[in-house]
Structure 1
Amino acid sequence: MIEDGGGARGCPASREEPRVAHSRTLRFWLDPANIAVRLGQAGPVVRTKAGPAVAFQVNDPSLIRKVGCGEDIFQAWSADPCLRDFTGDGFAGAEGQAHRDRRALMKPALAAPRLTALGPSVRDSTEGLLAGLPADRPVDVPVEMSRLVAGLVIETVLNSGISPDTLAALARARSVLSAGVFWKYALSPWPWVPAPRGRAFRRALGTLNEATREVYERHQPDGDGNDVVSLLKRSSDNRPDAALHDLRALLFAGIEATASTLAWACYELGRHPDHQAAIRAEADAVLGADAPADAVRPEQMPRTAGFIREVTRLHGIPFLVRRPATRRTWASSRYPPAPW
């Protein structure tokens, strides 16, 4: 999302833009389908306006790469100031080279071979977390999927533990945190407007902070010391405050998208019992009692993998990343002029 100031100094809009390009930003957040379903008609760059703020939404892979990598024109990274209380001083709020350096620090711990080797521990953790599902009442699917994913991330990727009560509180807080972040983005042009459920968001953020501190304190390092929390601790000279913001960002990011995807998958399985039966049969055939957890590959479960891909296509999480332009530029000579 590329923002520019309006008024006399702002760049003029192309007269070729379709009417959808003038959808209000707030309306987009309240009803993503208002613009998402018509982006193909609107073109690769869509101009939006909310009061004095003008933004250009990019919907083309090559342009997204240009915007993401063109640091001579676009500010490399900057978390929106409205999210400062959420991002803090961690890598999610860092800019440019500092952001990339922090990501590079964690990259070895999050590399594919290391994550693939977690197969057996993921299987064991999943069985334990599923055993905690209530059997005497209906299941709140979004909350329980958040509990499942948070537990998996904490126990396997972060090599730590968390109390059942804190885990349950974190699962309940997840949707409030997500909604709060979206509302802060939506209302950023009007900082004086109070966001809905502001107190609930602050309480949920406190729950996330409590969970982060508990994960930090209960961390058990790998033998080689190259797990992600160990790397964060060493890079911060074992000063908790310097690593907690990064750990908090990893914890929330590790939960949000996966928990939402699993919740939507449960919803679609309930709507399509034929797919549910076929996926169960495929899982029983591949994930038998004697099958080693680290030997299972996505290509062995094509129906399950295809179902998840379709769920993410139908119920993707819309999100906009802010990239301010540092000077006047144009989208691309291949497309109708769209000054930024």
Structure 2
Amino acid sequence: MTAPRITTPFGATSTAAEVVAGLDLTGRRAVVTGGASGIGVETARALAGAGAEVTLAVRDTAAGERAAEDITGSTGTKQVLVAPLELADPASVAAFADAWTGPLHLLVGNAGVMATPLTRTPQGWELQFATNHLGHFHLANRLLPALRAAGGARIVSVSSGAHRRSGIDFDDIHFHRRSYEPWAAYGQSKTANVLFAVEATRRWAGDGVYANALHPGSIRTNLQRHVDQAEIEALRRATPGVAPWKTVQQGAATSVLLATSPLLEGVGGRYFEDCNEAGPHRSGTSTGVAAYALDEQAAQRLWEISAATLGR
């Protein structure tokens, strides 16, 4: 029997502050990857403003410190910390996780790269898959003891409507044989973000750890630094029923909802957009979740491949 779809009082124009209003996160500890800019900093601001201790896990710690000062200035809280994290570098992920002590209640996998030119890590992994999926997969697994220790933890996997561009090409994930196409690579990595939430929940719900994925909407941020804006506008014009641009505060709302809403207690393995659980994608529309992104067999297969890739 299919579980009922989660609906909330919020929608496409809701902001992160509106979603968290009235909630008290005192005593909760959160990590937000990519928390120095874009929707990451607004996600962190909302969590900190509600009383959580928030660690900004960032590549550029100087930018992270500036973001932390800004959040402190706007919220009055001093519980905003900064730590280095390069998701495409397994050693950096391990160092971050090994340095963590105590419980972790909220892990927001927000950082990412979009439509980059073909770039490979020293291990030969395609950069978008390595950063957007493998890095977050590695981080969550290394932080699992801290998540378990929270006595009820949530993982928020920031995916994208672009997951509908590509499923997982299990025969050539890293484009060693097929021609590289930046948007196909991005779409594949975003599908992986959803599949991660499906399988993480299956494996870890018994430990009180639940994961959900989301599409934040279209927001102008540094994520698009590798893409010509004219190309983005052309893609938007070619997409039926594409939604308007969101502000960064609106873009962070669904992440914050998944991290904090009482309506999501004990809920995992689902995909949300505009602060509500998405329905199945229908051809000719720009909403919904592709069936392959929720496929349980694909989720298990991807997990096993990811673990083997990282030598876990």
Both structures adopt the same fold (TM-score exceeding 0.5): no
TM tier, smaller: under 0.3
TM-score normalised over the length of structure 1: 0.25
Which structure carries more relative contact order (alpha carbon 8 Å, separation 6+)? 1
> Which protein is bigger by CA-based radius of gyration?
1
Q: Which has the higher strand share?
A: 2
